[in-house]
Amino acid sequence: MRTRIAGTGKAVPDKVLTNDDLSKMVATSDAWIRERTGIGERRILEEGKSTSDLAAEAGRKACQSAEIDPKELDCIIVATISPDMPMPAVAVTVQQKIGAGTCAAFDLSAACAGFIYGMSIADSFIKNGQFKKVLVIGVEILSRVVDWTDRNTCVLFGDGAGAAVFVPTAAGDQRGILSTHLFADGAGMKYLNIPGGGSIEPPSVKSVEAGRHFVKMEGKQVFTNAVKNLSSAAKVALEANGKTTADVDWFVAHQANLRIIEAVAERVQIPLAKFYLNIHKYGNTSSASIPIALDEALREGKIKPGELVLMAALGAGLSWGSALVTI
Ligand code: UT7
């Protein structure tokens, strides 16, 4: 028995922030952003709406496409580093908003690798028989945690949510998750973090004035580690399943920077044409990037049933992982 993806969904805000819009806010240009990142525009959530609103919309759509009633869900996992509030979990608000029953619901924090971590947990729950229908959502409202005066970071990120419902396969069904591989190296925490707001630096007037609640990033360090670790995680996934790069139909990589994806394509020797790309539309949506890409690729009919899809993501932690899935 395997765990398969029964349905997917996504939700992105209507408001588009273009590179030209950004060039009026900080010293940047459309040409720089496109050339250095591949990003053309990103979505920004309107005031008055929150993380759980987008998460619930994506989750509802995933249930619809899986043809299940939210009441049938056994577990809701929300991967996010930009929750509605420090507690309780976004997952319990999603539970209320989509009309699920009193199922298990919790958040997980693995930054951009969050959806791969969530998929791995869902796979374990289903394989050990504890749950049969698990909704995993990756959601971020990064527009509320980026410093809109810092051109090094504010041009990169966007808001969005993606979701998938995982269920057990029936006997003889060849679809499903072949493997997941998860990694982390806390030595890299200094390269990407939000230093304020936790127990080390609780919120204070001083911490707000010093901008300690915004994303801080050493871009070059993250870039180098991303290329190295995404490539190794992709190779581990293939080796573990006796597959070669030629067997891969699609590579759905975390959409952080087109140059990272190009470098990974080169290292693992998988043509760029096999990578599903939507970074130009949404920027880096962290944990939401893989499920949004997956949902779009499926709905556009690019990824077809029976195809082999490799996924890999890396983000703050540093945390990273890969998954190999027959759709
Ligand atoms: O999801 C995981 C999290 N994040 C990532 O994966 C991001 C990984 N890192 C990156 O994508 C890249 O490192 C960046 C896109 C953030 C930066 O690209 P880079 O090629 O590493 O540029 P850089 O940081 O070396 O900056 C080159 C120059 C600098 O100017 P000087 O010092 O050479 O005069 C920057 O100040 O570009 C300047 N710069 C900008 N110029 C125009 C930095 N940001 C901008 C900007 N517009 N937005």
Q: Phi and psi (nearest 5°) for 38?
A: 85, 0
Pocket of ligand 1 contains residue 152 by CB under 6 Å: yes
Please state the domain count of the chain: 2
Active-site residues, by number, are 112, 254, 284
Q: Are residues 187 and 144 in the same domain?
A: no
Pocket of ligand 1 contains residue 151 by CB under 6 Å: yes
Q: What is the pLDDT along the chain (327 residues), one digit of tens a residue?
A: 999 999 999 999 999 999 999 999 999 999 999 999 999 999 999 999 999 999 999 999 999 999 999 999 999 999 999 999 999 999 999 999 999 999 999 999 999 999 999 999 999 999 999 999 999 999 999 999 999 999 999 999 999 999 999 999 999 999 999 999 999 999 999 999 999 999 999 999 999 999 999 999 999 999 999 999 999 999 999 999 999 999 999 999 999 999 999 999 999 999 999 999 999 999 999 999 999 999 999 999 999 999 999 999 999 999 999 999 999
Counting from 1 in the atom list of ligand 1, the atom nearest the Cα of 154 is 48
The domain of 39 spans: 3-168
Sequence-distant (6+) residues with CB within 8 A of 312 are 116, 230, 233, 234, 237, 251, 253, 254, 264, 320, 321, 322, 323
Residue at a domain's end among 168, 186, 208: 168
Residue at a domain's end among 139, 168, 197: 168
Counting from 1 in the atom list of ligand 1, the atom nearest the Cα of 284 is 1
Pocket of ligand 1 contains residue 219 by CB under 6 Å: yes
Pocket of ligand 1 contains residue 262 by CB under 6 Å: no
284 CA from centroid of ligand 1 (Å): 14
CA angle in degrees (0–180, nearest 5) for 282-47-161: 35
Q: Are residues 14 and 144 in the same domain?
A: yes
The C-alpha atoms of residue 310 and residue 323 are separated, in whole angstroms, by: 6
Query: What is the dihedral sign for C-alpha 10, 43, 77, 297?
Result: positive
210 CA from centroid of ligand 1 (Å): 22
Amino acid identity, position 136: V
pTM recorded for the entire structure: 0.97
Helix locations, the chain, DSSP H: 19-23, 30-37, 51-66, 90-98, 114-127, 151-154, 205-209, 219-240, 258-268, 279-282, 289-299
